[in-house]
Amino acid sequence: MLINIVTPCSRPENLKAIAESINIPRENYRWLVVYDSDTFPTLEIPSEPEDYLCKNPESTSGNAQRNYAIDLINDGYVMFLDDDTIMHPDFWESVKDCEEDIVSWAQLTPQGQHRLSPGQFWVCGIDSGSFMVKRSVIGDLRWELDRYDADGIFAHYVAKRTTSQRRIEKYLSIYNHLRP
């Protein structure tokens, strides 16, 4: 299994914590960090991601950066790990045997309360960090640039394209975990 981790980045100071949280064996993931910037930041990260630049003033919340990364991915799963999110310690053990087109999981608030249940592929029902989908299913679908709720829109349309889904009834995502 290959998981392409896409991190749209406007907070590079969080990348070290994100890198330290990635608990997937190296041969099973590719980490693409797309900076919302004209220049690369100077910083040390324990796990070297593939770094890209994509500045787009018409984009909201990293949507242009997500689209840029999708175009660089040919196969495997695509997972959007925002720059304010870390990977849950149980993530790899929970997903490593998945074969379904789309996989979703439950999400907590930073205070540790239930926020989202898996399988709710609609606006306000899902977050960019609470699902992964096979690249072949995404096809030509892209995130709407100017919508803050584009994660729900994207998830809704991509879920309609799937023939199989897995819902993991575990909290594998914490919303805005690295925000001050």
The 3 state secondary structure assigned to 92-151 is: HHHHCCCCCCEEEEEEECCCCCEEECCCCCCCCCCCHHHEEEEHHHHCCCCCCCCCCCHH
Give the C-alpha separation, 29 to 79, whole Å.
10
The residue among 121, 134, 132 whose CA lies nearest residue 172 is: 132
Domain 3-174 CATH class label: alpha beta
Indicate if the pLDDT at residue 47 is higher than 80.
no
- Averaged pLDDT, 67-90: 95
Q: Quick one: average pLDDT of 126-151?
A: 95
Question: How many helices (H) and strands (E) would you count in the chain?
Answer: 5, 8
Kindly report the average pLDDT of the chain as a whole number: 93
Percentage of residues of the chain with pLDDT beyond 90? 77
Domain boundaries, the chain: 3-174
Q: What is the mean pLDDT of residues 132-157?
A: 96
Reply yes or no on whether the pLDDT at 44 is more than 80. Answer: no
Q: First-to-last CA distance in the chain?
A: 34
- Average confidence (pLDDT) over 14-36: 94
pLDDT classification of 48: cutoffs 50, 70, 90: confident
CB-based contact 44:2 (threshold 8 Å) = no
CA-CA distance, 130 to 51, in Å (whole number)? 23
Q: Give me the mean pLDDT over the 30-56 stretch.
A: 87
